[in-house]
Structures are given as structure tokens and as C-alpha cells.
């Protein structure tokens, strides 16, 4: 993965913790899987595209040759933000490809 540095110099969040609803949660963050991402897409492109949903950071799947693998994991501040992003952005056309947006199952 290529990971965006946390903004404002904040360190990583603590351990897991439960929570209701879907998605993988670490601390207060909710993980959302985004698939069918065009290879030319950067983490910044995805962060900008999902900005209105309060995305906190983006992990982009990257192969050993540096090429994007076509998926990303986005972290959201709340379950509500993640649910809104999934509802609105699943099927969104990005550079000619329909994104698959769902809660991360990990």
C-alpha cells in the first residue's frame, strides 16, 4: 500500500474497538473498500473525489512495480460519513470506470 500521511502531524490511532454497523473500524475510523479504480488514479485524486464525505486518509493498493492495483481503502471519521459515501459513490464514473464502493470486510 501507498499511504497518505496523516494531516496535521497526528499519529496513528489506537487499537480496534467494536462498533455497530458495517465496515472495519480502528479507533473511530470506518474503512471503506473502493474497487475498479483506474490505474492512473492517485490517492490525492480519491481523497479529492470523496472530500465531501469527510474522508480522513486513503490507502492505495500498489504492485511492486509501482503501478496501482485498482483498489483503495478509504478511512472515514464516522459510520454516517461512510454510509453516505457508499450510497452516493457506488457506481460513480471515474475516468470512464464505475467505482465499486462498499464497507471493507477486513
User: Tell me, what's the pLDDT at 90?
Assistant: 98
Q: Which residues of the chain have pLDDT under 50?
A: 3, 5-21
CA neighbor of 69 nearest in space, from 48, 41, 50: 41
User: Tell me, what's the pLDDT at 18?
Assistant: 36
Strands 97-98 and 2-3: unpaired
User: Tell me, what's the pLDDT at 15?
Assistant: 35
3-state secondary structure of 84: helix
User: Tell me, what's the pLDDT at 27?
Assistant: 63
User: Tell me, what's the pLDDT at 59?
Assistant: 93
User: Tell me, what's the pLDDT at 4?
Assistant: 52
Strand partners, 100: 35
CB crowding 28-62: b at 16 or more within 10 Å, else e: ebbbbbbbebeeebebebbbebbeebebbbbbbbe
User: Tell me, what's the pLDDT at 20?
Assistant: 40
User: Tell me, what's the pLDDT at 106?
Assistant: 67
User: Tell me, what's the pLDDT at 58?
Assistant: 95
User: Tell me, what's the pLDDT at 19?
Assistant: 37
**Residues with Cβ within 8 Å of residue 66, at least 6 apart in sequence:** none
pTM above 0.85, yes or no: no
Sign of CA dihedral 16, 28, 11, 74: positive
Amino acid at each position: 500500500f501507498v499511504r497518505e500521511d496523516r494531516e496535521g502531524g497526528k499519529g496513528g490511532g489506537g487499537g480496534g474497538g467494536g462498533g455497530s454497523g458495517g465496515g472495519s473500524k480502528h479507533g473511530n475510523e470506518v474503512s471503506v473498500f473502493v474497487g475498479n479504480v483506474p490505474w492512473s488514479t492517485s490517492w490525492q485524486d480519491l481523497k479529492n473525489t470523496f472530500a465531501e464525505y469527510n474522508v480522513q486518509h486513503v490507502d492505495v493498493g500498489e504492485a511492486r512495480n509501482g503501478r496501482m492495483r485498482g483498489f483503495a481503502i478509504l478511512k472515514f471519521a464516522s459510520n454516517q460519513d461512510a454510509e453516505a459515501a457508499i450510497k452516493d459513490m457506488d457506481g460513480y464514473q471515474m475516468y470512464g470506470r464505475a467505482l465499486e464502493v462498499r464497507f471493507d470486510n477486513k
